[in-house]
Chains A and B, each alone.
Chain A
Amino acid sequence: MNIISELINDRFMIAAVLLFGLGFMNLLLQKNLIKKIIAFNVMDSAIFLFLASQGYINGRIAPIITNGILDSEVYINPIPSGLVLTGIVVSVSVTAFFLALTVRLYGIYKTVDFDEIMLLVDKEAE
């Protein structure tokens, strides 16, 4: 059962890739704009999960120096954690911008359904 043990060992990376695929598919196929924004956030979270799980090493503790132990073999890799910290805040900024665009779209077209907005835009363009 080598495949099963490999799957369990790589659990976070496989979960991240599957969540990314799920979010991407819903971003393309859902009709409601709010669901598209939720799908975008799920994609973002999946990428952060993939990136931050590259820094984990089995059996080591969080990178806060305790008892003066300065050995780098006792702590996990702190670099991916720092990169994801910036990413989380950028993700909420982009979500806020998308939601502001949705509010303005609703003010003009009175609907949040993507297909109906496309039809109304086509009718205006004629």
Chain B
Amino acid sequence: MNTEIGFFKRLNDWVNGDEDRIFPSKNEYDSPELPEPPVAKSSLPNKDILFLSSYQVIAITVVLGLVFVLLYTVYKLPLFGVADNPAVNEVVERYVEKGLEETGAVNVVAGMILDYRAFDTLGESSVLLLAITSVMMLLLRDEKNIDPEEDLITEHEAVFEDQSRDVILQNVTTILLPAIMLYGIYVILNGHLSPGGGFSGGAILGAGLILYATGFGHNRVRKFFSMKTFRALTTTALLSYGLLKSYSFLLGANHLPTHIPLGIPGAIFSSGLIFVLDICVGLIVACTMYGFYAVFSRGEI
């Protein structure tokens, strides 16, 4: 019986998946050696020891105080789910009642974030582009960034990857990938008619591209999605979004109507500019998600 190891330690090991400690072999159980700490704690100057031991107490006190203040605020807020919430005001009435005839979108949330509040979505797309640029600055492999040992290891692993491919992953990818891409394109194009929109569809397309790159290798994806395609797609999408929506900076804040017909609500080619903007946002999100994966795993897109 394992009576020398306590119950909670065995529970902890079971959660962590360390089965060789739950069922030890017939030899005696020897504890693993802990690694030596790099600097012994007794050799630190006195103020550092004081800081290290009082830091935890101060942190817990601050967090508990913050949580109590927030809980008191929650107690004083209006109740959840009641219809006379102060957050339900005339703005909501305007968005829901006039939304269909002014934007033509059946999905009120998509019509709101791409027509009434289109600048928020422009800012969010810029944040995505900024994030992928920063990650590329940090992790792209060029002559200033290379650590020779890591580079050698990455080259070896790339050769292994190209030679030994996973049969299960490849067969499952051949079956699943067309369905995933089709579903992603469907969610983007139907953003104004059903739940979904540019963000969700773009994330699904990006995840599909990541699956293809994992299963079939980096070089197969680079045949149709290289660095030039990436640059062209993202900059064109973001610039066209900005130009289509920010003409009102120059022509006065009273939005001049675009003369794109709104169409019949419920058809795909309805709701004017929202269709085009959905496609722009979807392209940016898909390229960015694939770009994150490519820069992290290989160092180049």
Contacts and interface: CB of A to CB of B under 8 A. Distances in A.
Q: Do chains A and B touch in the complex (CB under 8 A)?
A: yes
B95 A78 contact: yes
B74 A25 contact: no
A78 B87 contact: no
B138 interface: yes
A57 B85 contact: yes
Contacts of A85: 109, 113, 197, 199
A107 B148 CA distance: 11
A104 to B, nearest CB: 6
B108 A63 contact: yes
B131 A21 contact: no
Interface in A87-103: 88-90, 93-94, 96-97, 99-101, 103
Interface in B141-178: 147, 150
Interface in B35-68: 38-39, 56, 59-60, 63-64, 66-67
A89 B138 contact: no
B285 A64 contact: no
A64 B63 CA distance: 40
Given A64-B194, A72-B92, A24 B109 contact: no
B109 A81 contact: yes
A63 B194 CA distance: 10
Contact of A100 (B97, B112, B134, B195): B134
B106 interface: yes
A25 B92 CA distance: 37
B292 interface: yes
Contacts of B99: 65
A41 B288 CA distance: 19
B139 to A, nearest CB: 5
Given A96-B131, A103-B139, A64 B71 contact: no
B81 A75 contact: no
B182 interface: no
B131 A78 contact: no
A71 B121 CA distance: 27
B77 interface: yes
Contact of A86 (B71, B113, B134, B147): B113
B70 interface: yes
B91 interface: yes
B34 interface: no
Interface string A49-66: 000011111100011110
B18 interface: no
Given A21-B63, A97-B134, A107-B147, A78 B81 contact: no
A13 B106 contact: no
Given A10-B80, A97-B135, A21 B85 contact: no
B83 interface: yes
Nearest to B108: A63
Interface string B185-209: 0000000001101010000000000
- Please name the 6 residue pairs, one residue from A and one from B, whose CB atoms are nearest each other, closest first: A93-B131, A21-B67, A72-B96, A63-B108, A58-B81, A28-B59
Given A9-B79, A65-B106, A72-B96, 18 more contacts: A9-B81, A21-B63, A24-B63, A25-B60, A28-B63, A63-B107, A75-B96, A77-B92, A78-B92, A78-B108, A80-B87, A86-B124, A89-B285, A100-B139, A100-B295, A107-B147, A116-B38, A119-B39
5 contacts: A10-B80, A28-B63, A80-B87, A82-B117, A93-B288
